């Protein structure tokens, strides 16, 4: 009986944490510097949605000391299926560090099909290259 109560409690906690995640912001980003293996604080990031032939601005943020923006999607707006673009303003970041870069901006276009999922976009950055993927 005790093990049944423990199992039920664990299932309840699991369900609560899943609901908390679903209630959170659906979009986050993370920027890491490949040259030194450290986070990239101070990177300006914009979020846009593809509407017709244009890109509609939705939000803007700056990466924190861990190189993250945990809540990039605007809370007052409904998260809808469609094409989105995150633009990392890497030129300003490298300029502040006294470095040149080949990529002054890095646009990452992605498609949202399931609005119940969280979308995480990490950027692995160096002055002359970058990589990205869908994170979790």
* pLDDT, tens only, 3-15: 434 433 443 433 3
pLDDT at residue 102 tops 80: yes
Round the CA-based radius of gyration of the chain to a whole number and report it: 18
Q: Which pTM does this prediction carry? A: 0.81
Q: How far apart are CA 91 and CA 103, in angstroms?
A: 7
Do the domain assignments include residue 15?
A: no
- CB atoms near residue 21 (< 10 Å): 11
Do the domain assignments include residue 8?
A: no
Do the domain assignments include residue 7?
A: no
Do the domain assignments include residue 4?
A: no
Confirm or deny that 85 is annotated as ligand binding: no
Do the domain assignments include residue 50?
A: yes
As a whole number, mean pLDDT of residues 9-23 equals 38
Do the domain assignments include residue 9?
A: no
Do the domain assignments include residue 52?
A: yes
Do the domain assignments include residue 68?
A: yes
Confirm or deny that 133 is annotated as ligand binding: yes
Q: What is the CATH number of the domain that holds 127?
A: 2.60.40.180
Q: How far apart are CA 111 and CA 30, in angstroms?
A: 18
Confirm or deny that 93 is annotated as ligand binding: no
Q: ∠ at Cα 128 (127, 132), nearest 5°?
A: 90
Residue 87, domain extent: 25-132
* pLDDT, tens only, 32-71: 999 999 999 999 999 999 999 999 999 999 999 999 999 9
Q: What is the pLDDT of residue 1?
A: 52
The tally of domains found in the chain comes to 1
């Amino acid at each position: 009986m005790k093990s049944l109560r423990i199992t039920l409690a664990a299932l309840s906690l699991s369900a609560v944490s899943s609901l908390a995640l679903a209630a959170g912001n659906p979009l986050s980003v993370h920027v890491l510097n490949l040259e030194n293996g450290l986070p990239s604080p101070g990177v300006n990031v914009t979020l846009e949605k593809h509407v017709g032939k244009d890109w509609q601005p939705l939000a803007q943020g700056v990466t924190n000391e861990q190189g993250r923006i945990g809540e990039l999607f605007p809370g007052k707006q409904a998260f809808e299926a469609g094409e989105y673009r995150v633009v990392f303003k890497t030129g300003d970041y490298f300029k502040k560090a006294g470095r040149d870069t080949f990529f002054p901006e890095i646009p990452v276009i992605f498609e949202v099909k399931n609005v119940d999922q969280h979308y995480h976009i990490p950027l692995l950055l160096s002055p002359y290259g970058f990589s990205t993927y869908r994170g979790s």
